[in-house]
Amino acid sequence: MSKVAFITGATSGFGRAAARKFASQGWSVVITGRREERLQALSDELAERSPVHYQVLDVRNNEEVVQMVQSLPETFKNITCLVNNAGLALAPQPSQTVDINDWHTMIDTNITGLVNVTHALLPTLIETGSGASIINVGSIAGQWPYPGSHVYGASKAFVKQFSYNLRCDLQGTGVRVTDLAPGIAETEFTLVRTKGDQAASDALYEGTRALAAEDIAETMFYLATLPPHINVNRMEVMPTDQAWSPFAIHREN
């Protein structure tokens, strides 16, 4: 029986590229997200190569998550790799001007959603044991501060620490956990962050070479197929064109 990857946020960006990568290598894939037409289209595309099961899922809703996991078809029940990818940034402006609902949405998705899915899938991952893995998509924003990152960066810092802590609890089960922390990547991420401002999204990626969704999908597949005795705790991946800035110093004049 083929290995099964369970991917959240597969309707776009990293998640969709990951579904294509795992399916191209003969894995069965469970793909989830909120936009059904996109899941349906991806499912049709992948089904030519590999077994695929899709389900509309809002990761923020724990009841939905539990229900979905319980009703997985028999051949998709034994998960080898969970790609906890669904997430978003909102409100790139300073904290003092942010709508509190945007903060709540990031917390509900990037933190609550991620723990919902992890909790629901831990039993099957532990049953798989040696070779199983959880790839939590964090961000460089979880490690490095920058203006306008506020709750987004903090939510990704949660992902990092949760990943490390999970490792402690899962020691001896064979289940690996990685905080995969990408830098700037060209997906729909900035379009979502700016609430549909295509010009702002284009401007961010203009004149530089950002990571592509496929670059991160390759990394995910690499992590999932490492020899079972190897656990990469955290992997930070930036494009060569991205680096840190100097400290900002406020001056009175």
By CB under 6 A, residue 151 contacts ligand NAP: no
Contact positions with ligand NAP (CB under 6 A) in 190-209: 192
Strands 4-7 and 81-84: parallel
Alpha helix locations (H) across the chain?
A: 13-24, 36-47, 62-70, 100-106, 114-128, 150-170, 189-193, 198-205, 213-224
- Output the smallest distance, CB 89 to ligand NAP, in A: 6
Q: Which residue in 7, 13, 42, 65 binds ligand NAP (CB under 6 A)?
A: 13
Piece of 171-179, 185-193, 195-203, 242-250 that binds ligand NAP (CB under 6 A): 185-193
In the block, residue with structure tokens 């400290």: 247
CA-to-CA distance for 210 and 241, rounded, in angstroms? 7
- Is 136 a residue that touches ligand NAP (CB under 6 A)? no
DSSP 141: G
Indicate the residue among 130 and 222 with the shorter CB distance to ligand NAP.
222
In 10 A of CB 69, how many CB atoms? 21
> Footprint of ligand NAP on residues 14-53 (CB under 6 A)?
14-15, 33-35
Task: Give yes or no for residue 92 binding ligand NAP (CB under 6 A).
Answer: no
The size of the interface with ligand NAP (CB under 6 A), counted in residues, is: 31
Instruction: Choose the catalytic residue: 54, 152, 164, 222.
Output: 152
136 within 8 A of 180, measured Cβ to Cβ: yes
Site for ligand NAP contains 189 (CB under 6 A): yes
Query: Minimum CB separation from ligand NAP for residue 149, in Å?
Result: 11
Angle, in degrees to the nearest 10, between helices 62-70 and 114-128: 20
Sheet hosting strand 28-33, strand order edge to edge: 52-56, 28-33, 4-7, 81-84, 133-137, 176-182, 234-237
Residue 109 binds to ligand NAP (criterion: CB under 6 A): yes
Which C-beta is closer to ligand NAP: that of 78 or that of 188?
A: 188
Which region, judged by CB under 6 A, interacts with ligand NAP, from 20-28, 80-88, 160-168, 220-228?
A: 80-88
Q: Could you give the CA distance from residue 146 to residue 148 in angstroms, rounded to a whole number?
A: 6
| Alpha-carbon gap, residue 171 to 121, rounded angstroms | 16
In the residue annotation, 222 being an active-site residue is answered as no
For ligand NAP, the binding residues (CB under 6 A) are 8-15, 33-35, 57-60, 85-89, 109, 113, 137, 139, 182, 184-185, 187-189, 192
Please list the active-site residues: 152
